[in-house]
Every structure is written in C-alpha cells, then in structure tokens.
Copies of this chain bind each other. A is one copy, B any other.
Amino acid sequence: MLNLEGDLPGLLRSLIDIESVSGNEQRITDEVETALSAYPHLKVIRDGNVLIARTELGRRERVVIGGHLDTVPIADNVPATITGEGDDLIVHGRGACDMKGGVAVQLSAAAALTEPNRDLTWIFYDNEEVEADRNGLFRITRERPELLAADFAVLGEPTNAGIEGGCQGTMRVAVTFTGIAAHSARSWRGHNAIHDANGLLRRLADHQAREIEVDGLVYREGLNAVRIDGGIAGNVIPDRCRVLINYRFAPDKDVAGAEAYVREVLAPYDLEVVDAAPGARPGLDRPIAADFAAAVGGTPGPKFGWTDVARFATLGVPAVNYGPGDPNKAHTDDEFCPAADLERCRAGFLAWLG
C-alpha cells in the first residue's frame, strides 16, 4: 500500500514501480484509491481509471489539482533507482519526471491538507500520453463536468517547481501544391509542384512571430513548417508537394481567431486546417492566483507547449502548470526527478492551501 505520509522520494519510487503505460492504469488507480480512501476528510469517487478525491468543507473557493497516472512505454527504466543523498537525492525511472513526481506531491498534500483554506478537488486520470479521445480528464470534462467545477486549477506537469501559466493553443494547417507530372527528361511537358512551394517557405522564413501579453504573461508564438513531402520518383516531375505548418498561438484567441490569423498571414495560399486545440488563459490576474504565486515564490512564466490545462479552460476554469522535474526530460529514457523539487512543490501547496 502506498504510504502518503512517508518521504516523497520513497512515495515516487513506489509509484514508478507500479508500471502504468497508457491503457494499463488499473492497478495504479486501485492503489491510489485505496490510499486516499483511508482519509476521512476526502470523499473518493472512482470512474473507470479516473480517481477523484474531494473535500466538502463549504469553503468560498474551490481549487482542482490533478495529474495523469499513465506514462509513455518503459525503456529499461523500471523499477526506479535512487542516486545521491540529502539535498542531492534524485529519483530515476519511467515517469519520474512526467509525471509521477507531480502525482507523489499531490497525493502527499491531499493526505496532509485535512483542513484546507479552500475546498480541494484532487483528480488522477488515465491515458494522457495517447490520443485525445482516450484521455480520462477529457472524458470527465464531457461526461461529469460538475466534478471539475472550481475557481482555479493546477496541473502537475513538470515545470521545475515554478508556476507556468495557461498554455499556447496549437493548430496544424496544410498547403498542397498541385503540378503536372511528366518524365523528367521532358520536364517542359510538366509543372513542378515542389518548385511552387518556394514562395510559401520564403513567407514562413521571413515571418516574425508575435509576442502577446495575456493576463500579465507574455506568450511567444510560432509559425513553422514541420513537414514537407513531394515527389514520387527520381525521374518524374512532381505533381504534388504538401507542406504541413504548425501554428502555436497565444491564449488571447480561440481556434477560430487563430485560423483567421494564419489565413491572413499566408494569403493567398489555400489552407486546409488539419487539427487544432485551443490554448488556456493563465488567470494570473485573479487574487486566488496571486495568493498561489506568493506562497510558491518566484516569478510565474508562460507555458510554451500545449497541456491538459486547456481542458480546464474549456470549462471556464483558469489553470496553471506546477510540478517537479525538468520538462525537457519528459519522455527521455533517463528521465528523473530531484527530491528537492518534490519538497518544494509540496511546501508550495501547503503554504498556499494550509
């Protein structure tokens, strides 16, 4: 059984040793359910492999704090190992960084915060590392959104134990150039679709990405070709060339606003929107967030990258990312989490909510 009142590295180690690659979260969810059910201040709700634990103290405000229980596939990095000691102790293994470190902190804080100053909703969910329609948090936002009602949300993805507000939105658009195929020995009979891409690539190369302030944080955007494909054989004039472009946009606009901007910047090229996900405003201009920032210390920054905080945004709940570990180590075979980050994040939650 998980010990939520022992040392954090030990708890993280136990979590890593319960293999929970996406789709295989049954056992870890069972363990989390058993551990949290031992605390009478928490009302525990199980829904598939999503586990929710709530305080119901009638506080004026409610905060939802959560993280995913699944990991990307194992790469000879389970069970966990420990190196160093004291302030330099580090836990290594699959999920140490993304994001069982955050889960360990949250479980420990959930047990400790028996009388929080705001009501708390802890949520642990499955299938974050795979297609969106399997995502447990996404499922709950559709099927039981009332369980997620709150004034503010915190997601425990790794942020080096600092606050990263909101997230960028992301949209992928494709531009397809169509030419006329011909034998390359008689190229004048064809029309080269790859050559036609030059102007679009030039436009992208010259594009100056904007920096946009939202709720006090400055989000830097990006508009980039991420893939190009053209040509079918070494002796054929290509009749097709496709450029896939990724637009990362500040959370001042929704998906429709993002699409309008890309169409304007890349006109007259004919764009096809391939997929899109909205961003999330950080909500750091709210008092509850200011309290959080003061308790945690440091200067909040914007989140560059799309995370599940955007799922809270769709419910109208501003959200930030706050968790132990270096985000650059996520998904790497040698991912790890410093014990100091675990302690700092736990202390942050207790200072803010205790």
Interface residues, chain A, with chain B CB atoms under 8 Å away: 168, 170, 172, 183-188, 192, 194-199, 201-202, 204-205, 209, 220, 222, 224-238, 241, 243-244, 246, 248, 304-306
The CA-CA distance from A227 to B232 in the complex, in Å, is 7
**Bound Cα distance A323, B354 (Å):** 92
**Given A225-B192, A227-B234, A228-B230, do A184 and B246 touch, yes or no (CB 8 Å)?**
yes
Q: Are B244 and A234 touching (Cβ within 8 A)? A: yes
CB distance from A191 to the nearest CB of B (A): 10
On whether the beta carbons of B183 and A305 are closer than 8 Å, the reply is yes
Distance of A234 Cα from B244 Cα, bound (Å): 8
Q: Given contacts A202-B202, A229-B229, list 4 more A-B pairs with CB under 8 A.
A: A185-B305, A194-B228, A227-B234, A234-B246
Question: How many chain copies does the complex carry?
Answer: 2
A228 to chain B, nearest CB (A): 5
In the complex, chain B residues whose CB is within 8 Å of the CB of A197: 201, 228
Q: Is B229's CB under 8 angstroms from A228's CB?
A: yes
A237 to B248, Cβ gap below 8 A? no
Which of these, B192, B201, B222, B246, contacts A204 with CB under 8 Å?
B192
- Is B194 touching A225 in the complex (CB atoms < 8 A)? yes
Known: A222-B185, A227-B230, A234-B226. A201 touches B209 (CB 8 A): no
Given the known A-B contacts A194-B201, A204-B195, A226-B238, are A304 and B168 also in contact in the complex, defined by CB atoms under 8 Å? no
Q: Ordered nearest first, which 10 A-B pairs have the shortest CB separation?
A: A227-B231, A198-B201, A187-B222, A195-B205, A185-B305, A198-B202, A194-B225, A228-B230, A185-B304, A184-B246
Chain B residues lying within 8 Å of A205, measured Cβ to Cβ, are: 192, 195-196, 198
Main secondary structure on A side of the interface with B: mixed
Nearest residue, chain B, Cβ from A247: B184
How far apart sit A233 and B244, CA to CA, in the bound complex (Å)?
A: 10
Distance, CA A203 to CA B306, complexed state (A): 37
Q: Which residues of B contact A194 (CB under 8 A)?
A: 201, 204, 225-228, 243
**B residues near A209, Cβ cutoff 8 Å:** 187-188
Assembled-state Cα–Cα distance A97/B157 (Å): 65
User: Quick check: A184 and B228 within 8 Å, CB to CB?
Assistant: no
A228 contacts B226, CB within 8 Å? no
Distance in angstroms between the alpha carbons of A246 and B183 in the assembled complex: 11
Assembly CA distance A72 to B172 (angstroms) = 41
Q: Please, could you name 10 A-B residue pairs with CB atoms under 8 Å apart, sorted by A?
A: A184-B224, A185-B305, A187-B248, A192-B204, A194-B243, A197-B201, A197-B228, A227-B231, A228-B230, A228-B231
